[in-house]
């Protein structure tokens, strides 16, 4: 991971990720470089996707991408572990394990700026540049150097140390807002879209009549021909036949023979968040499917979000005055207030293997059907505490609509019940039976892509069996079997793909069996477990690396004391040198802590501990190298000087 260098662009972004980019473009960048972005987490609020940011996290690189939940555009890049991310600004490096992002280094690289803001409650000082901010933790003993609110921070503390960056924020600088941690994080906003941009274009819907695209000014009526659609919207991203009409059994009024054959076909406009269904006989548009692209739906990232506005009323002006508008923000209770009650919902489910996100619920009205998610969960989960579930999150390329890769996603839940948000709207002409409209709305927008026998497994040539199945090496047997079953179902029609999946599965199973038969001790894992234990972590937290100048000063002092002890031994022993070492310990610790009581306690404890350890080592472990009547005392003193130097220089 350390070999990857990300270009730091204040106010613009980091690496290939730019402020204001849609979330689908971010996923496309991730898909293009799977070796760099090997571990990706997607986090969102499961019950109310509009409440919190959609976050794409890269734990191996130590940074987040925060997307505005409504527009699904990048508003903030948050680097939370600067030691893991090697950044390049112009021609200089900063961050990463080798180049500490200290206050001095930041000031030297980015130049002077205005005084920052000190958050006394969090103990963090924020330094701001246009579109860029750095956060520095301030130790408790130096809080007097800063005042709550706007304040200047000295380049170095009284002991010569300089604060090290704990967090970096990159955001749009057009609004001239200061973005940092806590409440300051909410100030980051997405930049305005360029004039004429089709992203999040408002699509006004007149039920049973037409769609109106506000940016381009196109009118798309029911009954439009494919030529009309190509002329107004351009070439579709995909054309997929609706090979099987699985819901025809529910439509008693359907005049066609009750067979499983269907000549209808879809135009997929992934970049506009919609599908258009054409009748296979008349070749006229008979249904529009508008997608909200909320996370937690099986089609997430297959489409860009469609920003539709459905006006309900005798006229659009009347609907606007009365507020009777249905948008992607509208929840089910609001839909019922506008359109009234309707019959029971039809349940659409594909099973947990094909769709780990659960069932959706489709409600039908005249000329329109709505699909919602988690309705049953909302009814049953009121007042309960739900644990955040983990599952494999499937995203699709919005250009092709085919599965690309999987990543772990975390859905953040809350106790309070909430109304489900609209997942997609299906617009159709009036039918004689409402249930026929509902079930037709439930048919797949992609036609039958999941059953496409020509689909080829994209990782068919990947040698690593774990990467081929898209799982980690720590995956359980259930996860391995689940990944195998899911991929076999997706690519069942392509024998080489099935063989590659089965081969990877067999290799992993045999490897697991061999590991159980011949268990090996993972030294790295054991060391990592020891390092992460509470006791060892507490010990390591008691030490910190001081500046080089301070290290040299303490080392020279104790080296001189050691030389005096060896060169000028006395019959009474090195009493004077030992006393000087105790005074030096008090002095150096006080220089760093600036607290007399703590300096005395730390110094006394270090002195007693060092002499006990030195005496023990000389008696039990180390033979005396220095001959003479006081050789034992001299060697004990030298060992004590080394331990006192460590305590004076590194003890926090």
Got the DSSP string for 571-624? Answer: TT-SHHHHHHHHHHHHHHHHHHH--HHHHHHHHHHHHHHHHHHHHHHHHHTPPP
pLDDT at 482: 83
List 368's β-bridge partners, or say none. 365, 427
Tokens of 171: 């955001």
Q: Which two tokens stand for residue 509?
A: 């199973």
Local structure of residue 102 (DSSP, 8 states): B
Q: Residue 123: its pLDDT value, please?
A: 81
- At 140-189, the pLDDT tens digits run 777 666 665 555 666 677 777 788 888 999 998 877 777 766 667 777 88
Distances (CA, A) of 555 to 65, 227, 552: 44, 83, 5
As a whole number of angstroms, the distance between CA 377 and CA 417 comes to 9
pLDDT at residue 606 in the model: 85
- pLDDT for 356 equals 59
Going across the sheet that includes 63-67, the strands are: 149-151, 116-119, 124-129, 132-137, 167-171, 74-79, 63-67, 54-58, 41-45, 403-412, 390-396
Residue 200 gets the label, from left (phi > 0), alpha (psi -120 to 50) or beta, of left
Low-confidence ranges of the chain (pLDDT < 50): 1-2, 258, 260-261, 375-417, 431-453
Separation between Cα atoms, residue 602 and residue 543, nearest integer Å: 12
- Rounded distance, CA 9 to CA 261, Å? 55
pLDDT value at residue 612: 84
Q: Could you state, in order of their start, the residue ranges of all structural domains in the chain? A: 5-187, 202-381+413-451, 465-517, 548-650
pLDDT of residue 357: 63
C-alpha to C-alpha distance for 74 and 416, rounded to whole angstroms: 28
What's the pLDDT tens digit per position in 361-405? 888 888 888 888 754 332 222 222 222 222 333 343 333 333 333
What's the burial of 388, exposed, middle or buried (CB within 10 Å: 0-12/13-18/19+)?
exposed
* Cβ neighbours of residue 154 closer than 8 Å, sequence gap 6 or more: 145
Q: How is 259-308 classified by DSSP, letter by letter?
A: -SB---EEEEEGGGTEEEEE-TTT--EEEEEEE---TTSTTTTTSPPPEE
Residue range 191-220, pLDDT digits in tens: 888 888 889 899 999 988 899 999 989 999
Cα–Cα distance measured from residue 484 to residue 490, given in angstroms and rounded to the nearest whole number: 10
- pLDDT for the residue numbered 65: 95
3-state secondary structure 209-253: CEEEECCCCCEEECCCCHHHHHHHHCCCCEEEECCECCCHHHCCC
Beta carbons of 422 and 291 less than 8 angstroms apart: no
Quick one: how far is CA 95 from the chain centroid? Answer: 20
Q: For residue 314, what pLDDT is reported?
A: 57
The residue assigned the tokens 């990947």 is 462
């Amino acid at each position: 991971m350390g070999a990857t260098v990300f270009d730091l662009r204040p106010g613009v972004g980091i690496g290939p990720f730019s402020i204001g980019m849609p979330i689908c473009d971010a996923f496309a960048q991730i898909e293009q470089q799977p070796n760099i972005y090997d571990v990706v987490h997607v986090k969102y609020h499961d019950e109310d996707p509009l409440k919190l940011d959609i976050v794409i996290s890269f734990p191996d690189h130590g940074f987040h991408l925060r997307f505005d939940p409504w527009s699904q555009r990048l508003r903030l890049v948050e680097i939370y572990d600067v030691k893991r991310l090697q950044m390049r600004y112009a021609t200089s490096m900063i961050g990463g394990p080798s180049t500490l992002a200290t206050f001095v280094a930041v000031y030297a690289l980015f130049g002077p700026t205005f005084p920052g803001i000190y958050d006394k409650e969090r103990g963090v000082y924020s330094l701001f540049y246009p579109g860029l901010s750095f956060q520095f933790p301030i130790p408790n003993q130096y809080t007097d150097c800063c005042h709550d609110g706007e304040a200047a921070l000295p380049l170095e503390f009284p002991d010569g140390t300089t604060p090290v960056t704990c967090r970096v924020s990159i955001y749009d600088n057009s609004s001239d807002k200061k973005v940092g941690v806590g409440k300051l994080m909410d100030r980051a906003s997405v930049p305005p879209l360029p004039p004429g941009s089709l992203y999040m274009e408002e699509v006004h819907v007149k039920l049973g009549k037409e769609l109106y695209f506000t940016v381009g000014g196109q009118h798309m009526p029911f009954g439009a021909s494919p030529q009309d659609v190509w002329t107004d919207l351009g070439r579709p991203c995909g054309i997929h036949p609706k090979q099987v009409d699985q819901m025809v059994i529910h439509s008693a009024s359907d005049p066609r023979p009750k067979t499983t054959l269907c000549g209808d076909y879809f135009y997929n406009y992934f970049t506009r968040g919609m599908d258009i269904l054409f009748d296979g006989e008349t070749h006229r548009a008979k249904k529009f499917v508008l997608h909200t692209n909320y996370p937690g739906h099986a089609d997430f990232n297959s489409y860009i979000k469609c920003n539709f506005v459905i006006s309900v009323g005798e006229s659009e002006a009347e609907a606007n005055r009365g507020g009777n508008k249905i948008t992607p923000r509208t929840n089910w209770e609001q839909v019922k207030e506008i359109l009234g009650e309707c019959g029971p919902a039809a349940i659409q489910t594909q099973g947990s293997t094909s769709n780990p996100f659960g069932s959706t619920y489709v409600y039908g009205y005249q000329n329109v059907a709505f699909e919602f998610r988690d309705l049953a969960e909302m009814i049953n989960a009121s007042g309960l505490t739900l644990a955040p579930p983990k599952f494999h999150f499937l995203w699709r390329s919005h250009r092709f609509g085919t599965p690309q890769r999987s990543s772990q996603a975390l859905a953040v839940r809350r106790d309070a019940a909430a109304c489900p948000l609209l997942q997609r709207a299906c617009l159709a002409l009036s039918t004689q039976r409402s249930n026929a409209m509902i079930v037709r709305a439930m048919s797949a927008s992609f036609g039958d892509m999941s059953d496409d026998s020509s689909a080829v497994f994209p990782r068919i040539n990947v040698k690593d069996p774990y990467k081929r199945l898209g799982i980690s090496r720590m995956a359980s047997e259930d996860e391995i079997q689940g990944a195998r079953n899911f991929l076999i179902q997706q690519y069942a029609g392509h024998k080489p793909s099935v063989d590659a999946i089965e081969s990877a599965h067999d290799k992993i199973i045999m490897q697991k069996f061999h590991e159980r038969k011949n268990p090996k001790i993972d030294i790295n894992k054991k060391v990592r477990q020891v390092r992460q234990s509470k006791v060892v972590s507490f010990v390591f937290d008691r030490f910190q690396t001081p500046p080089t100048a301070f290290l040299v000063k303490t080392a020279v002092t104790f080296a001189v004391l050691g030389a005096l002890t060896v060169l000028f031994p006395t019959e009474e022993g090195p009493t004077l040198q030992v006393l000087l070492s105790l005074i030096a310990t008090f002095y150096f610790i006080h220089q760093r802590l600036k607290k007399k009581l703590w300096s005395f306690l730390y110094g006394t404890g270090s002195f007693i501990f060092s002499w006990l350890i030195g005496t023990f080592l000389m008696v039990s472990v180390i033979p005396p190298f220095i001959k003479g009547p006081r050789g034992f005392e001299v060697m004990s003193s030298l060992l004590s000087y080394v331990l006192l130097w460590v305590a004076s220089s590194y003890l926090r």
